[in-house]
Amino acid sequence: MEKRYEKNLSAFSEEEINRLHYLKICIVGCGGLGGYIAEEMARAGIGMITLIDGDVFDESNLNRQIVCNEKNIGKKKASETKKRIEQINSEIQITAIDEAADEKNCKEVFRDCQVVFDAVDNIPARILIEKKAEEAGVPLVHGAVNGWYGQVCVIYPGDRIIEKIFSDGAAETVNTKEGDRTGNEGAKAGAPAFTPAAVASVQTAEGIKVLLKKESILRKKLLTMDLMDQEYESIKLDG
């Protein structure tokens, strides 16, 4: 086993570390959540990563998006994330799609993946991603942030959780104390760097557990995180 992975042996067996090298994931959205997920997955040694994002970095992203820096303002998020990951782990196969997620590219990419990550910033895109992941038969790891608050859940094909947690009838399960649901990753209310970092880390952990077929996952459960008061709650969702 390579020296770069020896510190991961406290969490994974050598066989599990080797297994990750042959698996493929897709991260939809390369902003606050997606940048952290890509970095953490690269350091874990996931073998193949596809990045989908049609947006470019803006100065307002500097506060929380780990890939964004003063020199890449105006450049494509997916391609810039690819460049950063290549500097971390040159053994990973990385594909950057500098387009917004749509019916076509999600269908083409998801069918070859073992896990898809929802790291987008709006509810219609989340609904599309859940639909295409279900059609491809691929588990989806959802994450969202808003200010000091975040949420994560694991969605398997057929669970159809996104519309449930963002519907008016389920609003109480995802409301922050300010009364705003975390549908937008910092787009309106904003988010400091530590919130997407925390949520993305949980997403990464859940994604790796799915890849390694661990039993303890947040399937049909919504983990809500309040970093202001350090309150965490796992809310059971009926699929």
Average pLDDT, the chain: 91
Q: What's 53's domain CATH number?
A: 3.40.50.720
CA–CA distance, 83 with 121 (Å, rounded to integer)? 22
State residue 194's pLDDT score. Answer: 97
The whole domain housing 184 covers 3-236
| Torsion, CA 84, CA 197, CA 185, CA 124, rounded to 10 | 80
In 3D space, the residue among 160, 165, 88 whose CA is nearest the CA of residue 130 turns out to be 160
Are 126 and 162 in contact by the 8 Å Cβ rule? The answer is yes
**pTM, to two decimals:** 0.92
Number of independent structural domains in the chain: 1
Each residue's pLDDT tens digit, 98-132: 999 999 999 999 999 999 999 999 999 999 999 99
Q: Who has greater pLDDT, 107 or 216?
A: 107
What are the tens digits of pLDDT across the range 156-176?
999 999 988 887 544 333 444
* The predicted structure's pLDDT at residue 186: 39
pLDDT in tens, 51-103: 999 999 999 999 999 999 999 999 999 999 999 999 999 999 999 999 999 99
Distance, in Å, from the CA atom of 26 to the CA atom of 73, rounded to the nearest integer, reads 24
